[in-house]
Amino acid sequence: MSNTQENTPANQHPLHGAEGISIRYAVKEDCPRLMELVHELALYEKAPEEVTVSLEHFEDAGFGPNPVWKAFVAEVDGVVVGFALYYIRYSTWKGCRMYLEDLIVTEEMRGKKIGKLLFDRLFQEVKEQGFSGMVWQVLDWNEPAINFYNKYGANIEAGWLNASLSREQVLNL
């Protein structure tokens, strides 16, 4: 993913929703707040110890010379209250697809349609970029998220298991 001008504040065209909510591209200055929300999500998912990325690495991965992610943020009164972070995944079966890594709305702002606004903005991006679709994961116990995704008619697949190796595991091979 290239660091295009669309990620610069001057070229952003925020979408406005109910109750003064605006959706815009994330900028580097948002990263400390985004990391706070990442930690909130990790607590919700019962895995706070799993967040090991530093703020510096996070910023560089999104806004350095070779950015690998983009995000939309939801703001209320100038405060980021949610975000949707994605990157481009290539499927040998489907082509370029948006991979939604995280969608989070801070707990006190849930139920105000902020998640819907973020999801709708992601759909717009899929269309604008000509991606063949959008994919993501959801924990099987996260009923509120599953119910949210089901409202869109999402295909929630069974039968696939996640696999991963940590950096330490790879170094020890």
Q: How far apart are CA 76 and CA 101, in angstroms?
A: 22
Give the integer Cα–Cα distance in Å for 127 and 144: 26
Q: Please confirm, yes or no, whether 152 is among the known catalytic residues.
A: no
Residue 147: closest CA among 121, 115, 125: 115
8 A C-beta contact, residue 21 and residue 117: yes
Identify the sign of the CA torsion 57, 107, 117, 9: negative
For the chain, how far is it from start to end, CA to CA, in angstroms?
Answer: 30
Residue 102 tokens, joined? 């995280």
Catalytic residue among 44, 87, 149, 152: 149
Q: Specify whether the CB–CB gap between 31 and 62 falls below 8 A.
A: yes
AA identity, residue 3: N
Sheet strands (E) in 31-123 = 70-76, 79-91, 95-105
Tell me which residues are annotated as active site: 149
